[in-house]
Amino acid sequence: MTSAHHDHDHGSGGHAGHAHGVSGDADRRWLAIALTLIATFMAAEVVIGVYARSLALISDAAHMLTDAVSIVLALVAMRLAARPARGGFTYGLKRAEILSAQANGLTLLLLGAWLAYEAVRRLIDPPEVEGGLVFVTALAGIAVNVAAAWCISRANRASLNVEGAYQHILNDLFAFVGTAVAGLVVLLTGFARADAIATLVVVALMFKAGYGLVRESGRIFLEAAPAHLDPDAIGDRLVSHSDVTEVHDLHVWTITSGQPALSAHVLVDPVADCHTVRRDLEKVLQVDYGIGHTTLQVDHAPSEVLELRSGTGGDRSHCEVAHGPVHRDEPHAH
């Protein structure tokens, strides 16, 4: 007997779907408010940065540009991801947000490299900087980023794009603190290189955020297991079921942010009911590991696997090469 089943938690009933739609609308509203705050201040900051000859302000504006882009992409990705699966796109367009997150990460790295070059040039030959204007603008930037961070914290941060935007805004907040300090130093001491030093601090934050986004989106594209899930531990947990003799061809990956998926081939005792075991394992995966998207093929174990389990022989290479690691119940006498 074989039980192959695909389980995906879509929610149930009209109320669940309605709640999800309301939540999505609220997320988009909070993101739109944050985007308006960031875009408006960013435009003003570019003008002031050029007038004050402050690379620190311009670098802050560049960082805010990536924040704005990430929010726009998050809004677009939300709409694309909400479209139902059709045609060749059997998962729908849920990975649209992962594409945009990777683009945002690469943009951060490239902008960071350019700003680092400009900062080093200004360390060597510092121009005059309007310290007072830099200081006041940075204080305003702190207020804007606090407001924008609060707005985004109200949205669903399980999304890689939304969480990325939130982390960027927090980084911006710290960067503006550094820029305010630099502006104050220039104002009080005339030490113009403080502006370039503050820029390098912003660059370090941009590199950190950009690398994190590229790494995380890359893991999803390469279908690596989510960082918080250990496939070996999951395999051992599944095989601990009293009726399971072996688990192989176990794969754990991420469809999109916050949506882990799993597939596996499970062998059970000849007297066990495949459907019952499958339901038990699906419950374990959902409750213990938060995996609601599962595809389990459950079969009765062939004789060589039963011989291994009883310790009377059997071929230990069964499925080892073809399917990767094999999780077996410890041999014991019946």
Question: What are φ and ψ of residue 63, in 5° steps?
Answer: -65, -40
Q: Picking from 160-164, 167-171, 289-293, which range would have the lowest pLDDT averaged per residue? A: 160-164
Domain parsing of the chain, residue ranges: 12-221, 231-328
If one compares 30 and 311, the residue with the highest pLDDT of the two is 30
Q: What does the pLDDT average to over 26-32? A: 84
Summarised one tens digit per residue, pLDDT across range 252-291 is 999 888 889 999 999 999 989 999 999 999 999 999 999 9
Q: Give the percent of the chain with pLDDT over 90.
A: 37
If one compares 44 and 78, the residue with the highest pLDDT of the two is 44
Question: What are φ and ψ of residue 214, in 5° steps?
Answer: -65, -40
Q: What angle do CA 105, 85, 74 make, to 5 degrees?
A: 25
The pLDDT, as a whole number, for residue 12 is: 37
Fold of 12-221: Alpha-lytic protease prodomain-like (1.20.1510)
The dotted CATH code for 231-328 is: 3.30.70.1350
Phi-psi region of 291 (alpha: psi -120 to 50; beta: other; left: phi over 0): beta
CA–CA separation, 137 vs 3, rounded Å? 64
Smallest Cα–Cα separation from 20: which of 153, 156, 157, 154? 156
The pLDDT confidence band at residue 293, using thresholds 50, 70 and 90, is: very high
The pLDDT confidence band at residue 18, using thresholds 50, 70 and 90, is: very low
